[in-house]
Structure 1
Amino acid sequence: MALTQDQRSLFTAIAAPWLDRGEWPIWASIQHYFDQRDQDADAIFHSLPRVGSEVPFAAGYGFTNPMRAPISPRDRVRLTVATSLVLPEVRMVAGEPFVRTLRHMIDLYTSTPILNDDVPTIILRSRELVDALPNLKPWFVKVLPDLLSYEPGISTGGVHLGDGSWEREVTRSVWQFRHVHTVEDYIEKTCEIVAKNAAQYAPVAAVEEEAALVIAKPERAPYIDLDLLDDLDQAAQKISWKVHKLIALCRELNDNYVAGNPYACAALIRAILDHIPPVFGHQDFKQVAAQHVFAVKRTDKAHAQRLAAFKDIADDVMHRPVSATVPVISMSDLPEPARLNAVLQELLSILQ
C-alpha cells in the first residue's frame, strides 16, 4: 500500500520536534499545523495502514503509536521505527542505531549463562551501551527507552535514574530478532510477530488481509526526497543552470533504490557527485567537501565529506574488473540518504 503525500507530511510534522528536542508533540499542535493548511489531521492519522489491531498492545503495529478516535488534544503522538522506511532522517538518526542496539541486546541475552535453577536478570544500562557502541549519538541514547516502549515485539521494562541515566531489562523477546540485520528486516519481523499475536483475537483472514498493508511493503522510501525534486524542477524554470540531467539522475536513483539495486545506486550517486560541483564553484566534489561553506556548517560539511569518501566504493563498483575474488556491494554500503539530500538542499539554495 503506497502512502499518500498527506500521510508523509503527517510523519514529518510529528518527527520535527522529536528530532529537534527529543520530545513528541501533543496532538493539538499537529491538528493546528494541518488546520492552517485546511486539512483534517485526524482523518489523515486514521487512514494510516496498520498490522493487527489496536488492542492488545502487542497485537498491532504501524507507523505511529495506536490512538483511538477521538484523539485527545493533549495526547502525545509518537512515530515507530517503521517510519524509517519513509523518512530518511529518522532512518539515519534512529532506525539504524536502533537495529545496532537490538543486535547488542541479543548479544547480551545469548551470552548470559543460565546456571541450574537461577534465572538471571539481564540489564541494558545507558552508560554501558555507550561504551559498547561508542558511535551512538547522545540524543539517540536519551530517546531509546521511549522507542523501546512502543515497539510491540520487544518486551522490556526499566527505570530512569536520578543522574539522567537509565536501565532496561533485556528479556527473551529479543531472541526472535536474531536474524535481523537491517531496518527492513526488523520491520518485517515485527509485522510478522504482531500478525501472529493478532490472530488470537481476530479471524485469521482479517489479520492476513490487514498484515498485507505493511508486510507486503517494506518498500524503501525514495533516496532523494520527492519534495526536494519538485523544488529543483520549479527552480529549473527560473535559472540559467541546466539541471535536467541532475533531476533525471535523481529520479533514476530513486527507482533503483526502491528496487534494491546497489550497483546501479552506487554508480548513480557517483554520477550525481561528479555532476554538481560547478554549481558550488568547484571542479570536483572533493573540493566541494573541503572548501564550500555550508549554511549548516558542521553537519552538512560532515555529510559532504562522507559522500566524498564514498567515491572509493563507487569507483570499485564501476572500475574493478572481474577476477577470482571480487567483493560484493550491498545496499548497506550506500551512504545514508540524508547526506545526499542535505547536499542537494544546499545546491538548491545556491540555485535560488
Structure 2
Amino acid sequence: MTDQESFEDKLNRWTLSELKIERTKKNIYGERKLSRIETRIAELEFGTRNAAVVVHKVRDDLYIATARLENLGKLQSPQFDLRRLVRMCEEINSSWQHGNLIAVAALTRIVLDHVPPIFGYLTFGQVTANASRSLKAIFESLEQSSRKISDSLIHQTIRKKETLPTEQMVNCSQNMDVLLAEIVRILEEQTHNSSLQPTGFAGG
C-alpha cells in the first residue's frame, strides 16, 4: 500500500470533527494533502456535488482554538455531559470558516444559555454578576454586547432595508476562549476533588 493510498483511506475513515483537527496540522501535511482534507470536509458538509464550489471559500482560522476543543472533549465530568457543548463549538467553527455569521452569533447566544449550571447558576447573567473581578468585564461583554447583537440578528423581523453582519460585529472569540478556559478549569478541579473523596469501606 502506498503512502497516498494510506492517506486516502484515512480521509474516508476520519469523521468531520477529526478532519477539522487534521486541517490545522499544516506542519505535517503538504499543500496537496491539505487541499484533499478541505475537499473531504466540504463533501461531508455540503455534498459531493457542491464541494468544488465551496472549498476555496473556507477560512484558515478557527473561532475556537483546536486546543480548547480538545481540552473540552477530553473532560470526563461526573455531573455534566459536554457532548452538546463540544458540538456547538464545532458548529461555531464551521460557521465561522464558511462565513455563516448569523449562525455564529446565534450559536454564541446558545452557548451562553447552555453553560450556567457548570458555574452553579441558572442564567449567564447570574454567572456574570458573581464572577471574579478578573473575569467580570469579559463575561459582561459576552452577556451584554454579544447577546444584544445575536438577539438583533435572531429576532429582528424583515424590513425594507437590511444590512448583513460583518466579522467584526459577531467576533467575540477571545472572550469566548476565556469562558471555555474557565469551564475547563472548573470541571478539571471538580473531577480532581471528586477523585480525592474517600470511598469508605465495604462490610459491616
TM-score interval (norm. to shorter): 0.5 to 0.7
- Cα offset, 1:292, TM superposition: 1.7
1:261 maps to 2:97? no
What is the CA deviation profile of residues 293-316 of structure 1, one whole-angstrom value per residue up to 9, with x for unaligned ones?
2xxx42x33221111121011011
Q: 1:241 to 1:4 in 2, by over 3 A?
A: same
- Cα offset, 1:261, TM superposition: 0.8
- Cα offset, 1:3, TM superposition: 4.4
Distance in 2 between residues matched to 1:271 and 1:315, nearest whole Å: 11
Distance in 1 between residues matched to 2:129 and 2:60, nearest whole Å: 31
Partner of 1:343: 179
Q: TM-score scaled by structure 2?
A: 0.62
8 Å CA contact 2:96, 2:104 repeated in 1: yes
Q: 1:48 to 1:290 in 2, by over 3 A?
A: farther
Secondary structure of the 2:153 match is helix
Partner of 2:89: 250
Q: 1:315 to 1:234 in 2, by over 3 A?
A: same
- Runs of 4+, deviation exceeding 4 Å: none
Q: 1:312 to 1:263 in 2, by over 3 A?
A: same
- Cα offset, 1:238, TM superposition: 4.1
Distance in 2 between residues matched to 1:325 and 1:217, nearest whole Å: 27
Partner of 1:4: 25
- Cα offset, 1:280, TM superposition: 0.9
Alignment of 1:34-183 (within 5 A): none
What is the CA deviation profile of residues 83-107 of structure 1, one whole-angstrom value per residue up to 9, with x for unaligned ones?
xxxxxxxxxxxxxxxxxxxxxxxxx
1:301 maps to 2:136? yes
8 Å CA contact 1:270, 1:311 repeated in 2: yes
Partner of 1:332: 168
Distance in 1 between residues matched to 2:119 and 2:104, nearest whole Å: 23
- Cα offset, 1:222, TM superposition: 1.3
- Cα offset, 1:335, TM superposition: 3.1
Distance in 1 between residues matched to 2:104 and 2:141, nearest whole Å: 16
1:320 maps to 2:156? yes
What is the CA deviation profile of residues 241-288 of structure 1, one whole-angstrom value per residue up to 9, with x for unaligned ones?
111111110000010011111101000001001100111112211221
- Which structure ranks higher in relative contact order (CA pairs < 8 Å, sequence separation ≥ 6)? 2
- Cα offset, 1:346, TM superposition: 0.1
Q: Give the length in aligned residue pairs.
A: 141
Alignment of 1:165-244 (within 5 A): 219-235=59-75, 237-244=76-83
Distance in 2 between residues matched to 1:349 and 1:320, nearest whole Å: 36
Q: Supply the AA of the counterpart residue of 1:264.
A: A
What is the CA deviation profile of residues 163-213 of structure 1, one whole-angstrom value per residue up to 9, with x for unaligned ones?
xxxxxxxxxxxxxxxxxxxxxxxxxxxxxxxxxxxxxxxxxxxxxxxxxxx
Secondary structure of the 1:338 match is helix
8 Å CA contact 2:58, 2:98 repeated in 1: no
Which structure shows the bigger proportion of residues in strand conformation?
A: 1
8 Å CA contact 1:270, 1:314 repeated in 2: yes
Secondary structure of the 1:303 match is helix
Q: 1:277 to 1:3 in 2, by over 3 A?
A: closer
8 Å CA contact 2:106, 2:154 repeated in 1: yes
8 Å CA contact 1:282, 1:288 repeated in 2: yes
- Cα offset, 1:217, TM superposition: 8.1
Partner of 1:271: 110
Q: TM-score scaled by structure 1?
A: 0.37
- Cα offset, 1:321, TM superposition: 0.7
Secondary structure of the 2:94 match is helix
Task: Report % sequence identity.
Answer: 28
Q: 1:48 to 1:247 in 2, by over 3 A?
A: same
- Cα offset, 1:328, TM superposition: 2.4
Measured on the aligned residues, the alpha-carbon RMSD in Å equals 2.4
